[in-house]
Structure 1
Amino acid sequence: MKNITRGIDHIGVTVPDIEEATVFFKKAFGAKIAYDNKKLEDEPLAGPNVEKTLGLKKGTKVIHMRLLSFNNSASIELFNYVDADQRKPSIASDLGVQHFGFYVDDIKEAAKAFVEAGGELLNDPGELLGDVEDGTGHFVYGRAPWGMLIELISYTPHGLNYPEDSEAKRFTP
């Protein structure tokens, strides 16, 4: 089968306040604003077409959208909705996307920046576990100020213990 996928372009994240989320991502991960798809001062995106296109509940309005860029990585598209019945952020055992990981060069410095930006670590950074990753690096999970789960991870790409029958190598920025 022909490979028609190049990689992940962006990840969509709903936040309560795009300006505050932008400050967090800038301080914690060096994000840069690429552009606003929809500015806060613009008329909200709403109505049956928007609801159908984005799979929204009736009456939900998009009031702000922004794309953030990161060095050597996929972008994050931030969304802010109003008139929506929103749930709390998922935890690791929930179905669907429950976290994403930032590859970092220095786990201790990255963890410090994460906390200084307003995030909360769930524990101290620890060694990677499991047959493939055991002893090759470090990781830690934390929550962004609005509660979303984010992983910080650092490993030696050539040090991973890939099985002989592995079809691919892990992408590393």
Structure 2
Amino acid sequence: MKNNIHGIDHIGLTVPNLEEATDFFINALNAEIIYDTYQKTEPIRDSDFTKKRLGIPEDMAERAIRMIGLPNGPQIELFEFSGPDQHGPINPSDFGWQHVAFVVDDIDQAVEQVEKFGGKRNADPIDLGGVEAGEGNKFCYCKTPWGATIELISYPTPQPYLANSKRRKWSV
């Protein structure tokens, strides 16, 4: 049987304000707008069908959707909803998709960019260990301006896992 799975196309992310989130990703992580699937100028989507297919509460409605792209890898689909039944972003210890990691060349510069545009690091970048260790291989968890967790990761040195794995995680 032929493999029908090709990889990640996009990651969906709900944000409190589509324009502010777009600006953050453009300025902090070099993203660009690919297209708007659904714009705020269109009627709000609050039909039973929309609520059922998205699995959202009865008092919520879809407000806008935008696809943005990063220099490499999958896209990020930004969603904005309206209604009273929204909760803040999860913490990495909560159940669910907890963060998106971005591969960067210079982790210190990337952290500065994130902070310059409203994000905040949880702590300074630290060395990767174990099967990901290597000179200059580092990661740093940060928060977006609206509180979602992102990870910046850089591995300029080949990682030890490569000696025993047929597949690479990433190639820059």
Counterpart residue identity of residue 104, structure 1:
V
Question: Is this contact kept in 1: 2:141–2:151, CA < 8 A?
Answer: yes
What's the TM-score, normalizing by structure 2? Answer: 0.92
For 1:143-154, what aligned pairs fall within 5 Å after superposition?
A: 143-154=143-154
| Count of paired positions | 171
Question: Is this contact kept in 1: 2:140–2:151, CA < 8 A?
Answer: yes
Q: CA deviation at 1:111?
A: 0.7
Does 2:140 align with 1:140?
yes
Secondary structure, aligned partner of 2:52: helix
CA shift in 2, pair 1:56/1:140, >3 Å = same
What's the TM-score, normalizing by structure 1? Answer: 0.92
Q: CA deviation at 1:164?
A: 6.0
Q: CA deviation at 1:123?
A: 0.8
Aligned counterparts of 1:163 and 1:105: Cα–Cα separation in 2: 19
Residues 162-171 or 56-65, more deviating: 162-171
Counterpart residue identity of residue 13, structure 1:
L
Which segments of 5 or more consecutive residues in structure 1 lack a partner in the other structure? none
CA RMSD of aligned residues (A): 1.6
Which residue in 2 is equivalent to 1:49?
49
Which residue in 2 is equivalent to 1:40?
40
Which residue in 1 is equivalent to 2:110?
110
Which segments of 5 or more consecutive residues in structure 2 lack a partner in the other structure? none
Does 2:162 align with 1:169?
no
State the identity as a percent.
39
Question: Is this contact kept in 2: 1:57–1:84, CA < 8 A?
Answer: no
Aligned counterparts of 1:127 and 1:50: Cα–Cα separation in 2: 44
CA shift in 2, pair 1:84/1:5, >3 Å = farther
Which residue in 2 is equivalent to 1:127?
127
Aligned counterparts of 2:43 and 2:99: Cα–Cα separation in 1: 31
Counterpart residue identity of residue 153, structure 1:
I
Which residue in 2 is equivalent to 1:83?
83
Counterpart residue identity of residue 116, structure 1:
K
Aligned counterparts of 1:31 and 1:164: Cα–Cα separation in 2: 33
Question: Is this contact kept in 2: 1:59–1:84, CA < 8 A?
Answer: yes
Q: CA deviation at 1:143?
A: 0.2
Question: Is this contact kept in 1: 2:98–2:149, CA < 8 A?
Answer: yes
Regions of 4+ moved over 4 Å: none
Q: CA deviation at 1:59?
A: 2.9
Does 2:38 align with 1:65?
no
